[in-house]
Amino acid sequence: MSPNGQIDLQRQIPRLERLPRPLYARAESLRAGSWTARHTHDWVQLSYAISGVLGVHTAEGSYYAPPHWAVWVPAGLEHEVVTSMNAEMRSLYVRRDASAWAPERCRVLEVTPLARELIKAFCELPVEYPEGESAEARLAAVLLDQLRALPEAGFSLPMPAEPRLLRLCSELVAQPDLGHSLWEWAARLNTSEKTLTRAFQRETGLSFRQWRQRLRLLAALQPLEGGASVTEVALASGYESPSAFIAAFKGLFGVTPGELFRAG
């Protein structure tokens, strides 16, 4: 219980000095509002959402995993994992020497049907599964091969490092439906619209419009997964019509809201 009388939903991080095998699995049922403190570890983490939406936050940006997507967190990167709704999470910890092929950055990956079944089967194994030529070790090897081949998705939200832009983005993250134009933000920051446009592209790799649209679509995942209608989520996200929201959603996620959460 926290000091203010509310239930503390902070998740405890396993105290591991090293991984006993190349792969280590955790299965968790998370309550709404669950979170971890920022931390690092000496192995890769794959956070996979069976249901619910996971958010992984780093200094470089935020990464979101709707149902049947996963966030790949490289070894040594400080991060926290949060969920604002009930979620079923499967985590895989991967030794550095078993994932030397992976880029040293956070990524959102699409978990294929085969990888899903392999993860499910691997989570049933004991932590210290038999090594060598055992069936368990072969399963782990096949799963590692499948992880290497998972397609990457563009569900990240890069955050700028420049202090003024970071304040702007933090305010928008807190209120994704804010309707201020780029001109209004430039005036608040005492700069020109042209200068702000260049700085935003340089710091995030996206235009202001692209960044804000991505923020709103990512923020929409939680209420959609929770059963809110597309119409109410579209209007709450600042879109003038459900059709405009659905078109933008499909442009980012590759599927409509209905298709995404039916699959999940």
Sign of CA dihedral 220, 221, 223, 228: positive
- Domain residues for the domain of 128 are 23-153
Q: Where among 123, 153, 183 does a domain terminate?
A: 153
Same domain? 60 vs 164: no
Can you give the CATH number for the domain in which 56 is found? 2.60.120.810
Report yes or no on 143 lying in a domain. Answer: yes
Same domain? 38 vs 149: yes
Same domain? 173 vs 132: no
pLDDT on residue 8: 59
Query: How far is it, in rounded angstroms, from Cα 145 to Cα 44?
Result: 15
Same domain? 141 vs 198: no
Q: Where among 102, 128, 153 does a domain terminate?
A: 153
pLDDT on residue 100: 92
pLDDT on residue 20: 93
Same domain? 169 vs 250: yes
Domain count, the chain: 2
Report yes or no on 130 lying in a domain. Answer: yes
What are the residues whose beta carbons fall under 8 Å from the beta carbon of 58, sequence distance 6 or more? 73, 77, 78, 79, 106
Alpha helices in 85-207 (DSSP H): 113-122, 135-149, 163-174, 182-188, 193-204
Q: Where among 111, 136, 153 does a domain terminate?
A: 153
HEC profile of 101-132: CCCCCCEEEECCHHHHHHHHHHCCCCCCCCCC
pLDDT on residue 4: 39
pLDDT on residue 177: 79
pLDDT on residue 263: 57
**Token pair belonging to 233:** 């989520």
Those residues of the chain that have pLDDT short of 50 are 1-7
